[in-house]
Amino acid sequence: MKYILKRVIFFLITLWAALTINFILPRMMPGNPAEVMIAKFQGRLNPQAISALEIAFGINTHESMLAQYWDYLGRMATGNFGISVSFYPTAVAQVLAQAVPWTLGLAGISTVIAFILGTLLGIRVSWKRNSASSSFAVPIAFFLNSMPYFWFALIVEYVFAFVFGWFPLGGAYSSSSGLSGLALVWSVLYHAILPAATIIITAMGGWMLTMRNNMISVLSDDYITFAFAQGLPEKEIEMNYAARNAILPSFTGFAMAIGFVISGVLLTEIVFSYPGVGYLLYQAVLNIDYPLMQAIFLFITVAVLVANFIADIVYVFLDPRARSGGE
């Protein structure tokens, strides 16, 4: 319980840090980026919107920094992220809400699949360390892991959507109107296959290598030899003695791994014009829509924190030492 409490506190501190970054960045950067943005959209925004933006970015204000900060935290706490300038006059929250389900669906499912597949492969490859398939799989994983994700997405899109024409070039569902029920579900799945495959393949390599290293480390532990001495079946030793222990560091290193995966997801969405958060971030960047960008950054941070929190909880379930107080 103490462990969980510690994680909750860390969760809150990090959230606060992300909020503060959002507050400081526009105020600190040279060249008044926020003013540049307002000037750019001047003609299209009504005076009310402009003054809201000025308050949000601390322009033309006599309030002290601290007062601004306090107001800002208040707005964030009430979910008031302001108005998107590129989707004017829609509120940022609303724009974001439309993109979130797509990303959660695509990224959530493919990340879980990638984690499971990568981990299983890592177990296999380390257990059968000298087999031909292992000596094949490891260099491939290295290569996959060092590829720029968006580039791999481009190639996948080019080969399977453009050259072979097996899959759509982009989007999340067929734009032909009147799709409903099963046809719509199918269309959504069909559009998700390529981006999902891209994420799975690129993310898998990293998890495979991590698990492989952990396994090799664990395999020289005494309890493995002892398990062999007991004449336990190989499968039992592989899974319940070796893998069961080797997977623990995967959870403690989850924070970094998930960061890489998120980068992959964002870029993959952009390549496939998949209408999720990543693609939205890209549009916000192209249109210099700071309020939208900041909200997206915040959203992604919270999503990652939640994912980490889940990983922490699973970890507590998997490691009895974490359960009874210790680290």
Partner 1 sequence: MDALLKVKDLNAGYEFTNFKTWAVRNVSFELNKGEFLGIAGESGCGKSTLAFGVIRLLMPPGKIFSGSIEFNDIDLMKIDDESLRKMRWKEFSMVFQASMNVLNPVLKVRTQIYNSIKYHVNMTESELEKRAKELLNLVNVSSKYLDAYPHQLSGGMKQRVVIAMALALNPKLVIMDEPTTALDVVVQRRILQEIDELRRQLGFAIIFITHDLSLLVEISDSLAIMYAGQIIEKAPSEKLYAKPLHPYTYGLMHSFPPLVGKRQKLHGIAGRPPDLSSDIKGCPFYPRCEKRINGVCDIENPKLVEIESEHFVACHLYDGK
Partner 2 sequence: MNYVKLFFKNRKSAIGVIIFLSFVVIAIFAPWIAPYSPNSMAFTPLQGPSWKHWLGTTAVGQDILSQVIWGTRLSLMVGLITGGIATAISVIMGLTSGYLGGITDDILMTITNIFLVIPGLPLIIIISAFIVVKGVWTIIFVISLTGWAWGARTLRSQVLTLKNRDYVKASVVTGESSAHIIFSDIFPNMLSLVVANFFGAAVYAVLSEAGLEFLGLGDSSAISWGTILYWAQNNQALLFGLWEWAAVPGLLIALLGMSFALMNFAVDELTNPRLRKR
Give the interface with partner 2 as residue ranges (CB under 8 A): 10, 13-14, 17-18, 21-22, 25-26, 29-31, 33, 36, 142-143, 145-152, 154-155, 157-158, 162, 213, 216-217, 220, 255-256, 258-260, 262-263, 266-267, 270, 281-282, 285-286, 288, 290, 293-294, 296-297, 300-301, 304-305, 308
Binding mask 184-223 for partner 1 (x = CB under 8 A): ------------------------------------xxxx
Structural contact between residues 111 and 199, judged by C-beta atoms closer than 8 angstroms: yes
Restricted to residues 306-325, the positions that interact with partner 1 (CB under 8 A) are 318-321, 324
> How many beta carbons lie within 10 A of that of residue 115, not counting itself?
22
CB under 5 to 8 A by kind: which of partner 2, partner 1, none does 288 bind?
Answer: partner 2
CB under 5 to 8 A by kind: which of partner 2, partner 1, none does 301 bind?
Answer: partner 2
CB under 5 to 8 A by kind: which of partner 2, partner 1, none does 108 bind?
Answer: none
Q: In angstroms, what CA-CA distances link 171 with 74, 180, 187, 273, 276?
A: 36, 17, 10, 5, 10
- What residues pair up with 83 in beta bridges, in sequence order? 91
The stretch near partner 1 (CB under 8 A) out of 137-145, 170-178, 235-243, 277-285 is 235-243
CA dihedral 305, 306, 310, 315 (to 10 degrees): 10
Beta strands in 257-305 (DSSP E): none
Structural contact between residues 265 and 199, judged by C-beta atoms closer than 8 angstroms: yes
Residue carrying the six token digits 């490691």? 319
CA neighbours within 13 Å on the CB side: how many for 13? 6
Q: 20 vs 230, which CB is nearer to partner 1?
A: 230
Residue ranges that bind partner 1, judged by CB under 8 A: 220-223, 225-233, 236, 240-241, 244-245, 248, 318-321, 324, 326
